[in-house]
Amino acid sequence: MVKLPFGVQEFTLAIIVGTLAAIVYSLRVLVLMERRIARIEGHVERVVTKVMKEEVRIEKSLKRKRR
């Protein structure tokens, strides 16, 4: 009979540890993606603010020309 290097308990523990490591890695990736998305949102907000300022400026100049 062949003796296995790991018993059932060791094998189960290895599966649990591997699963926990995968969960931790996934959470790390999610946090990094969330930071990227937050940075992108900040850039979009800045662009929208610039566009809104430009629109207000154009509207004011159009109102002045109508008078």
Is it the case that residue 1 has pLDDT exceeding 70? Answer: no
**pLDDT tens digits for range 5-64:** 778 888 899 999 999 999 999 999 999 999 999 999 999 999 999 999 999 999 999 888
**Is residue 15 one of the residues assigned to a domain?**
no
**Is residue 17 one of the residues assigned to a domain?**
no
Phi, psi of 5 (to 5 degrees): -70, -25
Measured between alpha carbons, how far is 42 from 36 in angstroms, rounded to an integer? Answer: 10
- Tell me the residue range of the domain where 50 lies: 31-67
**Is residue 55 one of the residues assigned to a domain?**
yes
Residue 20: alpha-carbon gap to chain centroid: 21
The count of C-alpha atoms lying within 13 angstroms of the C-alpha of 56, restricted to the half-sphere facing its C-beta, is 6
Number of structural domains found in the chain:
1
pLDDT at 64: 85
Q: How confident is the model at residue 4 (pLDDT cuts 50, 70, 90)?
A: low
**Is residue 8 one of the residues assigned to a domain?**
no
Is it the case that residue 67 has pLDDT exceeding 90? Answer: no
Q: The whole model's pTM is what? A: 0.63
